[in-house]
Structure 1
């Protein structure tokens, strides 16, 4: 029976449906979702979570209406420039994963600045997935390894799980222990495909803007009652997984 969560991942789903259900504009849902992220980050600290990774903007989200995408870009920049200070003051280290080249120059600078400003923090590791897709990440890693083999920097015999992980944008992240998805949907939507390989899954019917610290506590309580076997049936496999997590 697991005692605590080393790495918690969340698919923050339901902002748009929450807004529609309350008669608000879509962007109101995203703004409310940003408030929830702050609150859940603090709750994760209270729950002794070491790593929290959230899905904020997927590679596929560019297909949404142009006005919504523009509003999301503005919200991201505003969040980084204003709200991130409180998170940093709470000893949270902030990172992003995913592509950055499709963001505006000023947003890229803001992301770089907040990562540098929080680099020495030793508390919760908060990673935000922006313009991220699990399939795309794996494809890019495989392409990089193929180029290295082709150029003679690597031998094919050197390619293993650890090498592939080292080429992913999630290279610094430990394996996910628990994935929570809000909004009532029950799928992983191209999120952290490598790192979710043995994660426990928890699906909440609550939209992300209404997800609370109490909901998080319930999900974690449910997790602690599960038996994680990682494909086997002995505690040794769980101990091996924890050793790999500690080395990440």
Structure 2
């Protein structure tokens, strides 16, 4: 190694050490400031989080397997539920496993589903955090794509928490926002056809596809007919894209992208997202997020379907 390369390496090490030392001082100070301000903030009523960066965290931390990064991300997910409960956010949606994730190695897919199954079974157990906080668990996505034991764990978690009302947590599994919209359109048409008579033609059936009808058939409302649309989307891990998460329900949401990898995403990052949301809400014109039209009668609640 040349003298120049050695000097650069040493300098980089010094900078890294300085950043770590500065972070140890700055984080507590920043967290203290934000905690004092939060009481006056506008809070989102439905926050969606994309939990990105578990694999990169495992690589950066030189962990033995990707699974260890995902397991740490799961523990951070429990922390996120606590933060939403603590700061008064009644609806939380998280992107746990996308349809795109099926392109990963079979080893990682198996590990992800095993972690998911274990987590959901834990959530079904009395005394788990979700029971202590009064959280209702609901799964959104294509359940036909997941292993039978994972599907069974989903049902157990949903059944065990169905009477909780303090907070609702939606977990996206085998989920894709484009597929959700396609399925909603198909259900709109099927609903119209099933109630049509001979006098109705194709045009009449097509007219059944409205914003209100589509909204009723989105995954979220298969479980909670009155759940509000998403008003804040937070993505950890540095990427600045939605990756097809809740495209319909997040159409007017504020977007916040944080470079911190998900296993390191803590209260400071959470409050920074709320701070940014609060600033934007205060400085922009309020958007009417209601889906139903005042001129049209309210439609009946969506029937349960196997998502």
**TM-score normalised according to structure 1 size:** 0.89
Bigger-Rg structure (1/2): 2
Provide the residue aligned with 1:133 in structure 2.
Answer: 176
Secondary structure of the 1:101 match is helix
Secondary structure of the 2:256 match is strand
Cα distance change, pair 160–48 in 1 and its aligned pair in 2 (3 A): same
Secondary structure of the 1:175 match is coil
Cα distance change, pair 2–243 in 1 and its aligned pair in 2 (3 A): farther
Secondary structure of the 2:171 match is strand
Secondary structure of the 1:227 match is helix
Provide the residue aligned with 1:170 in structure 2.
Answer: 220
Q: Are 1:99 and 2:124 matched, yes or no?
A: no
Q: 1:80–1:114: 8 Å Cα contact kept in structure 2?
A: yes
Residues 57-82 of structure 1 show CA distances to partners (whole Å, capped at 9, x for unaligned) of 00110110000000111101111112
Aligned partner of 2:277 among 208, 211, 223: 223
Cα distance change, pair 151–121 in 1 and its aligned pair in 2 (3 A): closer
Q: Are 1:241 and 2:289 matched, yes or no?
A: yes
Alignment of 1:141-220 (within 5 A): 141-153=184-196, 155-171=205-221, 172=224, 173-220=227-274
CA displacement at 1:151 relative to structure 2 = 4.6
Residues 61-113 of structure 1 show CA distances to partners (whole Å, capped at 9, x for unaligned) of 01100000001111011111125532122211111100111222222111111
Q: Are 1:76 and 2:144 matched, yes or no?
A: no
Q: Are 1:16 and 2:70 matched, yes or no?
A: no
Gaps of 5+ in 1: none
Secondary structure of the 1:10 match is strand
Q: Are 1:120 and 2:168 matched, yes or no?
A: no
Provide the residue aligned with 2:44 in structure 1.
Answer: 5
Provide the residue aligned with 2:68 in structure 1.
Answer: 28
Q: Distance in 1 between matches of 2:119 and 2:93?
A: 16
Q: Distance in 2 between matches of 1:124 and 1:225?
A: 25
Q: Distance in 2 between matches of 1:158 and 1:102?
A: 29
Q: Distance in 1 between matches of 2:169 and 2:282?
A: 24
Gaps of 5+ in 2: 1-39, 197-203, 293-297, 302-307
Q: 1:2–1:227: 8 Å Cα contact kept in structure 2?
A: no
Provide the residue aligned with 2:33 in structure 1.
Answer: none
Q: 2:85–2:133: 8 Å Cα contact kept in structure 1?
A: no
**TM-score normalised according to structure 2 size:** 0.73
Higher relative contact order (CA 8 A, sep 6+): 1
Aligned partner of 1:53 among 89, 93, 98: 93
Cα distance change, pair 184–104 in 1 and its aligned pair in 2 (3 A): same
Residues 132-186 of structure 1 show CA distances to partners (whole Å, capped at 9, x for unaligned) of 0000011111122233344554743343111011112122342111100000000
Secondary structure of the 2:207 match is helix
Q: 2:252–2:289: 8 Å Cα contact kept in structure 1?
A: no
Provide the residue aligned with 2:29 in structure 1.
Answer: none
